[in-house]
Amino acid sequence: MKKILLILLLILCTGCYDYNELNEIAIISGVGIDKLNNEYVVTYEVINTEASKESSNDIKKYNVKGNGGSLSEAFNNVNETLAKKAYFEQIKVMVITKNVNILDISDYLFRNEKINTNFYLVLCNDIDEIFDFTSVNEPNNSIAIYNLLKQNDYANITNLFDLKINTLIEGYDISLPLITLDNELSLKTIGIYNNNKFIRYLNDNEYRIYKYLSNKKDILINSNDNSIKIYNSKLNYNLENNSITLKYEAKAEINSLNISYDLRDINSYNELSNEFTTVTENEITNFIKQLQIDNSDILNILNKYKLKYPDSSITFKDLTINYDINVKVDKAGTAFKEVK
């Protein structure tokens, strides 16, 4: 009798209050947050669980929108518009505009037990444009953005929302990828911040430099119509005598040649390595100088410096950075001479 009572109690007393049928919940795959005229505008991208997989005519997702003076008010207003119970566990991305102060929205997102903060924060210029778009490849835009992030080596633990906020809390600068609509959703650059304040978007060339400094692979460097592709790179910082030296070492493969080189000769590789080392050094120096003008330390250079010299009051703008760049071209591809 006791055992039966025990089993009954265990079955009856746990979980029933929080029980939800799958078709009674609105699975949110992405959230958009904008701030317009001192009001938060929140958009949910909701997966349509009623849609059948076979039928291409069925709407696979729909958007719900609401606004409010505070973020929690805006979220509440959207939840009220939903006919189902909002389910935030499957959020892949959160799309914000540059008007949104990231730390202002963090407290609500951290505190709300229903929101799983394991998502990626991305920037866009117009949330409606992004969420209203329907791609042929992937009907759900949040998943399409997530796939883009994966494709660009961005979807890793260090870029999760929690850890981005941690960087901000510790007083450092962050960067966020910009999602644009160019026939398809695309990721072409990043937005840089000075702590919590949006500064600007990087141009194409700066974004390319940023990518190879972030140890991304297959990044092109061009010089005199020759181009190489970095396949392995390492960025280190040497700290000695109150100065910081940025040490960048890369190994590259020739991508295309427009000048006569005999790649059977080892000297050709040395010449190319010297040429591209000079080009890369100029690119990196100019890029970091521009970042110093913008006062946006997205490479965490000051952080490294302060870890060694915590009492120093120097700012990123005033930091003197030395460079030690070495690009080694050591792969010729499948041709020994230029094809002309």
Partner 1 sequence: MTSSRVQSILAFTLSRCLYFGLGISFIINKGKNLSILACLIGFIIGYFILRYITNKDFKSFSNSLLGKIIIVFLCIYITNYTLIAFTILASNYYLTNTPTYFIAIPLFIVILYGVKCGFPTITRLSELLIIISVFIFIIISISIFVNIRIDNYLPMILKIDINFIECIISTIVYSITPNILLLYIVKDYNKNAILKGYIFGSLSIFLTIIGIIGVLGSNLASIYRYPEYKLLQQINILNFLEKQETFFALIWFIDLLITSLISQYIISTIFKNKYNTIALIIVIISLIFFINNYQNALFIYNNTNYILLIPLIIFLFIKSKKTKSL
Nearer to partner 1 (CB atom), residue 88 or residue 207: 88
Q: What value does the CA radius of gyration of the chain take, rounded to a whole number of Å?
A: 25
CA atoms of 92 and 149, how far apart (whole Å) = 10
Question: CB under 8 A: which stretch of 11-19, 21-29, 180-188, 257-265 binds partner 1?
Answer: 11-19
Question: CB under 8 A: which stretch of 31-39, 45-53, 97-105, 114-122 binds partner 1?
Answer: 114-122
Rule CB under 8 A: say whether 234 interacts with partner 1.
Answer: no
Rule CB under 8 A: say whether 21 interacts with partner 1.
Answer: no
Q: Judged by CB under 8 A, which of 36, 59, 103, 169 binds partner 1?
A: 169
Nearer to partner 1 (CB atom), residue 6 or residue 59: 6
Rule CB under 8 A: say whether 4 interacts with partner 1.
Answer: no
Question: CB under 8 A: which stretch of 95-103, 153-161, 214-222, 265-273 binds partner 1?
Answer: 153-161
Rule CB under 8 A: say whether 89 interacts with partner 1.
Answer: yes
Rule CB under 8 A: say whether 1 interacts with partner 1.
Answer: no
**Binding mask of the shown chain, residues 94 to 113, with x at each position contacting partner 1 by CB under 8 A:** ----------------x--x
Total chain residues near partner 1 (CB under 8 A): 31
Question: CB under 8 A: which stretch of 9-17, 21-29, 41-49, 215-223 binds partner 1?
Answer: 9-17
Q: Judged by CB under 8 A, which of 49, 81, 99, 118 binds partner 1?
A: 118
Q: Judged by CB under 8 A, which of 22, 266, 267, 310 binds partner 1?
A: 310
Binding site for partner 1 (CB under 8 A): 6, 9-10, 13-18, 89, 110, 113-114, 116-118, 157-158, 160, 162-163, 165-166, 169-170, 300, 303-304, 306-307, 310
